[in-house]
Each structure stands twice: as structure tokens, then as C-alpha cells.
Amino acid sequence: MTIFTKIINHEIAANRVYEDDFTLAFHDIDPQAPIHILVIPKKEIADLQSCDGETVSYLLNAVQLVAKKMKLDEAGYRVVINNGRDAGQEVEHLHFHILGGTKLGHIHHQDRTKSAT
Ligand code: AMP
């Protein structure tokens, strides 16, 4: 069981912003932007690879609703999934990060095949 299951079950507190039968959204405890919210499935799903398409659509629908509720829909926001080890996924319960509330820096691909010089 991950920490997110404990949040779903109200065993530990979280600052909840949205909830329905399938999804839960709450503020990230260590925000990386003025608004940083996590959207998770209530089912225990480890990562995107083990998630069915219907659940993905519920999650993205929740992302849209949360973005509107937080007034991010006009200015924009970023949705990030750290999926698996190389992406640095820390909590093995699928989660979509919603980041916004400021102009976000661009993500640049770092080409590790070239030397830094
Ligand atoms: P990731 O690195 O994509 O697995 O992201 C995990 C995220 O969960 C991080 O941004 C953490 O700050 C966040 N997090 C961990 N524990 C909690 C918690 N108890 N409440 C809210 N967010 C959390």
C-alpha cells in the first residue's frame, strides 16, 4: 500500500480539491509551482503502463475539472506523469501532476549522448 492509498482512505490528511467515484485530486505536499495538484485513480494502479484507457479518460476528465476549478484553464498549465524508474517516479501509484499559476520554464531534452563541451 502506498501513501496515496492512505490519503484515499483518509488515514492521512491531504488538502483535497476534487473527488468523484474514480479519482481524487489534492495539493502536492512539496509544490514545484504556485499551484501543484496531484490527480490519482482511487484504484491501486502502479503506473501508466498498467492503467486501462477508461481510467485514463476519467483521470484526464478530472484534470480538466480541477484546472477549471483552480482557474488555470485560461492561462494554461502543465500535466506531468513521472512514469517509472528513469522518470523518477517516487510513489508507485499512478498520478498526474498539474502545475500552474505562473509562466513555467520550457522542458529541454538533455542529449546524454553528446559531451558537455
Ligand atoms: P513522483 O516523483 O512523480 O512520484 O511524485 C510524487 C509526488 O508526491 C511528489 O511531488 C511529492 O511531493 C508528493 N507527495 C508525497 N507525499 C505526499 C503527501 N502526503 N501529500 C501530498 N503530496 C505528496
What's the pLDDT tens digit per position in 43-76? 999 999 999 999 999 999 999 999 999 999 999 9
Q: How far apart are CA 70 and CA 23, in angstroms?
A: 17
Pick the atom of ligand 1 nearest to 91's CA. 4
Minimum-distance ligand 1 atom for the alpha carbon of 7: 19
Q: Is 110 within the bounds of a domain?
A: no
Sign of CA dihedral 64, 55, 80, 3: positive
The number of folded domains in the chain is 1
For residue 80, being part of any structural domain is answered with yes
Residues with CB under 6 Å of ligand 1 are 3, 14, 28-30, 38, 82, 88-91
* CA nearest to 76, candidates 58, 106, 102, 57: 102
Whether pLDDT at 117 is above 70: no
Mean pLDDT of 30-54: 98
pLDDT of residue 111: 64
Does residue 111 sit within a domain? no
CA torsion through residues 16, 23, 35, 96, sign: positive
Domain of residue 29, residue span:
3-100
Mean pLDDT of all residues belonging to the chain: 94
Q: Quote the pTM value.
A: 0.93
For residue 44, the model assigns a pLDDT of 97
Tell me the C-alpha distance between 90 and 87, whole Å: 9
Is the CA virtual torsion 92, 98, 103, 106 positive or negative? Answer: positive
pLDDT confidence of residue 112: 63
Q: Give the domain CATH number at 7.
A: 3.30.428.10
pLDDT at residue number 107: 79
Catalytic residue IDs: 95
Rounded to the nearest whole angstrom, what is the distance from the C-alpha of residue 28 to the centroid of ligand 1? 6
